[in-house]
Amino acid sequence: EDFGAYPRDEASDWEKLSIAKADLLYAPPLSEIYPDDFATRVEVAGVSQGLCGASRPHHFAGVATVVTKLFMQCLPDFAVFGEKDYQQLLVIRQLVKDLNLPISVIGAPIMRDKDGLALSSRNAYLSEQHRLMTAPQLNLALKEMAADLASGRDLASTISSGRERLEQAGFKLDYLEVRRADNLTPFDDEIDAPARVLAAVYVGKTRLIDNIPVP
């Protein structure tokens, strides 16, 4: 996604932080983070491959680089990342582990609207019809898949029926996968470890991601 087109409202963010009684906001200018002679990139192998990393091949290198800079500048005791970007959360955890950073990375539960749609700045791109009729079907499909897997349904047919449901709802699929929750590696034929159902879809031109644990 083009950095310049990413939906942002810094004034609203500042207001929310003020209401939450935050003590400090660190918001350096872009030129301070990426000066003209910037030439370094941080890459996290393994967990960054596949899923969102397949369709956005340089995305997680950018995330790892800017988060490393942020950690070095702020020296936090802990950092909170939302579970909606589950692959990103695991990338940051791997980064902190590999670089021996004394930081606790905390996963924050996904915040959702009343109809189950995961909150995201990208939701602002949705048309009224897509927002009301189509987008909520993503979470419903993932919940159904997780319940089916928990009840013993086989992996292949669960994914197949999930894809069919999402396509019938009007989504264009980027991916729909069931992966190990700790490292996002795929299962062979059956689930033998804690699992996560993960999806990335398009509603019109808007890309949505969501995931849910298998109970």
Handedness of CA 7, 121, 208, 34 (dihedral sign): positive
CATH code of 121-213, in short, is 3.30.1300.10
Query: Is it true that 3-108 and 121-213 share their CATH fold?
Result: no
Read off the pLDDT of residues 6-62 as tens digits, 9 standing for 90 and up.
778 889 999 999 999 999 999 999 999 999 999 999 999 999 999 999 999 999 999
Q: Rounded to two decimals, what is the model's pTM? A: 0.94
Query: What is the rounded average pLDDT for all residues in the chain?
Result: 96
**3-state DSSP call for residue 199?**
strand
Q: Residue 184: CB partners within 8 Å, gap ≥ 6?
A: 47, 50, 51, 87, 90, 196, 198
Distance, CA of 156 to CA of 153 (rounded, Å): 9
- Provide the residue ranges of all domains of the chain, joining segments of one domain with +: 3-108, 121-213
Sheet containing 172-180, strands listed edge to edge, beginning at the edge strand earlier in sequence: 172-180, 195-203, 206-213
| pLDDT over threshold 60, residue 1 | no
Quote the pLDDT of residue 9.
86
CATH code of 3-108, in short, is 3.40.50.620
Q: Residue 45: CB partners within 8 Å, gap ≥ 6?
A: none
